[in-house]
Chain A
Amino acid sequence: MISSQRKKRKEVSVQKIDLEFELNGVPVEADVEPRSLLAFFLRDHLGVKGIHVGCDTTNCGACTVLMDGKSVKSCTVLAARANGTKVTTVEGISSNGNLSALQESFARNHALQCGYCTPGFLMSSLYLLGKNPHPSEEEIRKGLAGNLCMCTGYLNIIKAVKEASSSNFGSEAGNRNNKNSGGS
């Protein structure tokens, strides 16, 4: 029943770029097409599920990851750009199945419904708290304005970030960002 057409699955030859970078602390070597976008490369080739593409036009932020400690929208960054960097996705912020303080706060405050935007919001929040461990509500709103959520109306997300920041969380995030910053 396997289609004879499968034979046509030969590779199409294009320029390949060698990549070396660190993904959630693990060294990765790969080659990519120039046009390959970081989001799709991580998701479709490295199996990183915590990246979603909700808009393709840098509006929704569901694809947000940290690159050298800075939040970026990975659907609009060439995979080639990751060369030599340290990339952190949501998979890299919990350890051994234990939620981080920020993730705990999201769960406690019901800051997610369908969960599709959630990894992006977590990464943006992490970046924000790394820069500003004790943000005001207004600063949280501004820091998360690049992420869209269609389910929650944002209020519980803002609350979750606020609550995480008033715990000892800020310094944790700061350390993590510094650790991944690669000296930039």
Chain B
Amino acid sequence: MYPAQFQYYTPKNIGEASELLRKHSGESKVLAGGMSLIPVLKLRLTRFEHIVDISGIKGLADISEEKGHIRIGALATHGEVEASGLIRKKAFLMSETASHIGDEQVRNMGTIGGGLCHADPSGDWGSALIAMRGTVQVSSSDGSREIRADDFFVDSFTPALGEDEILSSVTIPVYGERSSGTYAKLERRAGDFAVLGAAVQLKVDEQDVCKYVGIGLTSLGMTNIRSESAEKALIGKELTPESIADAAESSRDDMDPLDDAIRGSAEYKKEVGSEYVKRALLEAMNRLRGGTK
């Protein structure tokens, strides 16, 4: 299996890359790690005349902390996110999500920016980003803007990017003391696409009352989606197994998954999806109580 021919560019900066995308509008695609793009090119399920490889752009893989946020460069690989001590300490959900993506080799090549821009409803990053209420920074030769996680996923495989825009970084708030997060992913076998997944970020006050909750869902809608019903059910409530069970139950209302002949019917996914929301919330609660993460 080989991709169809394409012209290949290695721009040195985002401006150059953006110019190339604009010049070859509709016929070009950004290549980062390639773990999603190259297989579909090889299977010839899609093709582009022009491939703009941004992997050589300097400074796009940095991970840093700034003003209560963590910024992750778009070219940081899943493996680099997983291995980052900073992220492990201050945004554990991101670290755990990274560890669930693909396998070692895929995590060594695939990037957080590439994963998000692929906008696969079974992608893992989108759920974590939604749960953490993160944002992405996108740039073109005209300048930069910021897009909230909730606004980024327009439709399946359709991110809210202009044709000449490039995702340059991801920003995650640091939830600090008394916060924890977890990603619960159901797979048929290791490294498979998610049957479904639930990313959860929690923060509580000293009375264990939920001050922040973010719940992002994988493979349970046309895109990664937020479970607003479950968040609403939990916010301001004391974190208990009962309140969590209620919230998880209501998460079902937000789910609208597709049937998958390999991984399960929509009905199955909804049923188990709410169970996974519950498990993720319970795990996050337990981690809070255990004082870790």
Taking beta carbons and an 8 Å cutoff, which residues of A are in contact with B?
14-15, 17, 33-35, 37, 40, 56-59, 61, 64, 70-73, 76-78, 80-81, 124, 127-128, 142-143, 145-147
**Contact residues in B for A128 (Cβ distance below 8 Å):** 104
Whether B104 lies near A145 (C-beta < 8 A) is yes
Asked, given contacts A34-B8, A35-B4, A35-B6, whether A78 binds B104 with beta carbons under 8 Å apart, the answer is no
Closest CB-CB distance, B225 to chain A, in whole Å?
26
Contacts of B10 in A (CB 8 A): 80
Chain B residues whose C-beta falls within 8 Å of the C-beta of A64 in the assembled complex? 105
Please tell me if the beta carbons of B7 and A15 are within 8 angstroms of each other in the complex: yes
B contact residues around A124 at 8 Å (CB):
104-105
Interface size counted on chain B using CB atoms at 8 A: 30
Q: Which residues of A contact B104 (CB under 8 A)?
A: 71, 124, 127-128, 142-143, 145-146
Having A56-B42, A143-B104, A146-B191, one finds 6 other A-B pairs with CB under 8 Å, namely: A35-B2, A64-B105, A71-B104, A81-B55, A145-B104, A146-B103
User: Does the CB pair B102–A76 fall under 8 Å?
Assistant: no
**Is the pair A33, B105 in contact by a Cβ cutoff of 8 Å?**
no
**B173 within 8 Å of A (CB atoms):** no
A14 to B31, CA, bound (A): 20
> Do the beta carbons of A59 and B191 come within 8 Å of each other?
yes
Q: Does B38 contact A (CB under 8 A)?
A: yes
With contacts A34-B8, A80-B8 taken as known, whether A73 is within 8 angstroms of B106 at the C-beta atoms is yes
Encode B25-65 as 1/0 by CB contact (under 8 A) with A. 00000010011001101110000000101010000000000
> Within the assembled complex, what's the spacing in Å between the Cα atoms of A145 and B191?
7
- How far, in Å, is A100 (CB) from chain B's closest CB? 20
Bound Cα distance from A36 to B109, whole angstroms: 17
Task: Report how far A80 CA is from B6 CA in the complex, Å.
Answer: 13
On whether A146 and B4 interact (CB within 8 A), knowing A56-B42, A59-B191, A77-B38, the answer reads no
By a CB distance below 8 angstroms, the chain A residues around B108 are: 70-72
Give the residues in chain B near A70, CB-CB below 8 Å: 79, 108
A147 CA / B189 CA spacing, docked (Å): 12
**Closest partner residue, chain A, to B106 (CB atom):** A58
Q: Least Cβ distance of B23 to chain A in Å? A: 16
